[in-house]
Amino acid sequence: MITVGIIGSGNVAIHLVKAFLKADTVTITGVYARNCSALRGLVEANLVFTDANDLPRADVYLIAVSDDAIDEVSALLPPNARVVAHTSGSRPINSINVNHNRGCFYPLQTFSKSDVVDFSEVPVCIEAEHPGDLEILGQLAHTISRSVSIVNLEQRRALHLAAVFVCNFTNYLYGVGFEICDKAKLSPELLKPLINKTAGKIKNMTPYEAQTGPALRNDRTTIEAHLQMLQGSSREIYQLLTQSIQHERHKL
């Protein structure tokens, strides 16, 4: 049995708690959060702590707080864990206080509290200051995920950057598309099969192979008509992405 303490009550912390509660070979010894309301009904009250010093001993403490708070929060934690790991895609493990054996447990997924997440499909990227600690982090990750990789800081930062493109920017573009539909008095629901198909296509094709559209075909009249319909940052994004696709394909 592996024991774990969770720090935080945000998007990632809540999903980690839910996943570990379902795992047979993990026990959550405690959750430390300055604001416990999100944990109500999820974790037994006697496992929730608002003073970090009360957090019980565990094999691993997982710090799932805002990137900028990792340093400060890790300094509050008692020396009660073999490894203390954060969940950030971009922060080095030395952003954790030097008094701990430091590590990273980065779940490569987008987490929102209200969303349902199947953690078995979430790749977990681990790193440890002391190579011996990779074993316990790996064991812990395998209790909830089928995909566990040892990833160094440079690689993790590259993954995080890639994730910003494929997730955060893509999601922003969904919003632009929804707004265009709203303005034309169309339901954004009409776009959802297209969104699902676009994401689904790359299961069997590369993004290069899956690309379609006016930029790829160099349909100049259509591109000009689209630009006439846009203003502000959406127009600039359209122009930049069109140029980028055309540069890749036609070296224009």
Ligand X SMILES: NC(=O)c1ccc[n+]([C@@H]2O[C@H](COP(=O)([O-])OP(=O)(O)OC[C@H]3O[C@@H](n4cnc5c(N)ncnc54)[C@H](OP(=O)(O)O)[C@@H]3O)[C@@H](O)[C@H]2O)c1
What b/e string do you get for 170-185 counting C-beta neighbours within 10 Å, with b at 16 or more? eeeeeeeebeeeeeee
Should residue 31 be labelled a site residue for ligand X when binding is judged by CB under 6 A?
Answer: no
Q: Residues 68 to 87: which contact ligand X by CB under 6 A?
A: 69, 72-73, 86-87
Should residue 67 be labelled a site residue for ligand X when binding is judged by CB under 6 A?
Answer: yes
Should residue 36 be labelled a site residue for ligand X when binding is judged by CB under 6 A?
Answer: no
Residues 6+ apart with CB under 8 A from 6: 13, 16, 17, 20, 28, 30, 31, 32, 61, 62, 64
Should residue 191 be labelled a site residue for ligand X when binding is judged by CB under 6 A?
Answer: no
Should residue 30 be labelled a site residue for ligand X when binding is judged by CB under 6 A?
Answer: no
Least Cβ distance, residue 198 to ligand X (angstroms): 20
Alpha helices in the chain, H assignment, sequence order:
11-22, 70-76, 133-142, 153-163, 170-183, 192-201, 207-210, 214-217, 220-229, 232-250
Q: Residues 10 to 29: which contact ligand X by CB under 6 A?
A: 10-13
User: Out of 17, 64, 81, 141, which residue is the one contacting ligand X (CB under 6 A)?
Assistant: 64
User: Out of 39, 74, 81, 88, which residue is the one contacting ligand X (CB under 6 A)?
Assistant: 88
**46: its two tokens:** 């006697």
User: Out of 61, 105, 111, 119, which residue is the one contacting ligand X (CB under 6 A)?
Assistant: 111
Least Cβ distance, residue 21 to ligand X (angstroms): 17
Torsions phi, psi of 222, nearest 5? -65, -45
Least Cβ distance, residue 129 to ligand X (angstroms): 17
Torsions phi, psi of 89, nearest 5? -80, -15
Of 58 and 64, the one with the shorter C-beta distance to ligand X is 64
Should residue 101 be labelled a site residue for ligand X when binding is judged by CB under 6 A?
Answer: no
Longest CA–CA span in the chain (Å) reads: 66
Of 34 and 201, the one with the shorter C-beta distance to ligand X is 34
Least Cβ distance, residue 211 to ligand X (angstroms): 26
Should residue 107 be labelled a site residue for ligand X when binding is judged by CB under 6 A?
Answer: yes
Residue 126 belongs to what H/E stretch?
A: strand 124-128
Least Cβ distance, residue 61 to ligand X (angstroms): 13
**Tokens 């959060």 belong to residue:** 33
**138: its two tokens:** 């790996």
Q: Are 108 and 89 in contact (CB under 8 A)?
A: yes
Interaction site with ligand X (CB under 6 A): 8-13, 33-35, 64-67, 69, 72-73, 86-89, 107, 110-111
